[in-house]
Amino acid sequence: MQTIPVNTNPAYAVTIGPGLLKKCGQMLRSAVPPCRAAVITDSIVGPLYLETVTESLKAAGYAAAAFAFPAGEGSKNLSTLSDILEFLAKERLTRTDCLIALGGGVVGDMAGFAAACYLRGIRCVQLPTTLLSAVDSSVGGKTAIDLKAGKNLAGAFLQPAAVLCDTDCLRTLPPEVFAGGAAEAVKTGVLCDESLFALFEGGTLEADPAEVIARCVAYKAGVVERDEKEQGERKLLNLGHTVGHAIEKCSGYAIPHGHAVAAGLAIMARASARLGWMSPEGLRQNDAERICSTLRLTGLPVSTEYAPEALAEAALADKKRSGDAITIVVPKEIGHCELMNIPVSELLFVIGTGWEA
């Protein structure tokens, strides 16, 4: 078992290891003393793990209630948020109580945002059950729902009270869901650490996901500690996401987040190489191809059927836009990326340069 501190205000710990759901009640007692705990989950994760979690909570002195919504990005909207808030009110949760997000990225985002809104903010614990939520979305306090205009357009920052990542949950993931999480892990390797990236080239992700999760979380914790509200450095974590969110939106959210981010990362890597933004020396010229090969090896797409014009149009609603400029994340080499502010009018050119059918 590994524990990674996140020194935000308030601080919390991310614990990673096997068998954590069975003992989640005991493990949470120091971060959130026994109270009413509303477990928010979805129609896929609930039948797998809800009973284990509620039994553990009750054994540790919590009063547990549960709310499940239909699984999938299509539920990440105002209607589900409203249902959750009404449920919390019906259960008479107070400010000393807590929400527990049991599931993947959609559950974590939804439950986190409900916790941030209800009574102007109550505590939220994250129990990530997918690789994507383990390596990325359960840590750092971003919560959100989608609006018709685009992804994650209404949300709040609410750091969790604790994160317990039970690596046994990864065993039940369908391969395509596991791959979706791998996209965020590969993204982290491209951002910060060539040796982490090399693990994916060598197939370590499947063999030792706990090691990869711990390294991704440790990197993200440092970024979030330095820039909790995404004023600067944290924008780097959006590598591949401007195009990725556009792909998700164009597909009506039929393409999962991780797969869309993988294609977005590949497009940005090729654009960077072709525009001469990659570090000029030696092997770095091959980095875009290394990134694409690794994504393919992991079962992820490196292209999209949506035309650059459609993607650029969809990206206009992106949060990373500020007036007539948009911040893109540019891979300079594997292990190092930079932020670049470009006029919105140039986004189509950048996407078109990296785009492949």
- The piece of 136-144, 152-160, 162-170, 264-272 that touches ligand GLY (CB under 6 A) is 136-144
Would you count residue 140 as binding ligand GLY (CB under 6 A)? yes
Q: Which amino acid is at 127?
A: L
List the catalytic residue out of 152, 187, 230, 319: 230
Closest CA to 143 of 184, 115, 119: 115
Q: Is 336 tagged catalytic?
A: no
Interior CA angle at 73 toward 124 and 40, to 5°? 30
List the catalytic residue out of 241, 259, 290, 320: 241
Q: Is 234 tagged catalytic?
A: yes
Q: How many other CB atoms sit within 10 Å of the CB of residue 317?
A: 16
Interior CA angle at 183 toward 259 and 313, to 5°? 50
Q: Classify residue 120 as exposed, middle or buried by CB count within 10 Å of its CB (0-12, 13-18, 19+).
A: exposed
Give the list of residues 6+ apart from residue 5 with CB closer than 8 angstroms, or none. Answer: 11, 12, 13, 14, 221
| Closest CB to ligand GLY among residues 186, 237 | 237
Site string for ligand GLY, 177-216 (x = CB under 6 A): ----------------------------------------
Please tell me the count of residues contacting ligand GLY according to CB under 6 A.
Answer: 5
| Closest CB to ligand GLY among residues 76, 142 | 142
Would you count residue 331 as binding ligand GLY (CB under 6 A)? no
| Closest CB to ligand GLY among residues 56, 133 | 133
Would you count residue 237 as binding ligand GLY (CB under 6 A)? yes
Alpha carbon distance 282, 336 (integer Å): 16
Does residue 51 contact residue 78 with C-beta atoms inside 8 Å? no
Q: How many CA atoms does the CB half-sphere of 32 hold within 13 Å?
A: 31
| Closest CB to ligand GLY among residues 58, 234 | 234
CB 339 to ligand GLY: min, Å = 13
Q: Catalytic positions, please?
A: 120, 142, 184, 220, 230, 234, 238, 241, 245, 257
Binding interface with ligand GLY (CB under 6 A)? 136, 140, 142, 234, 237
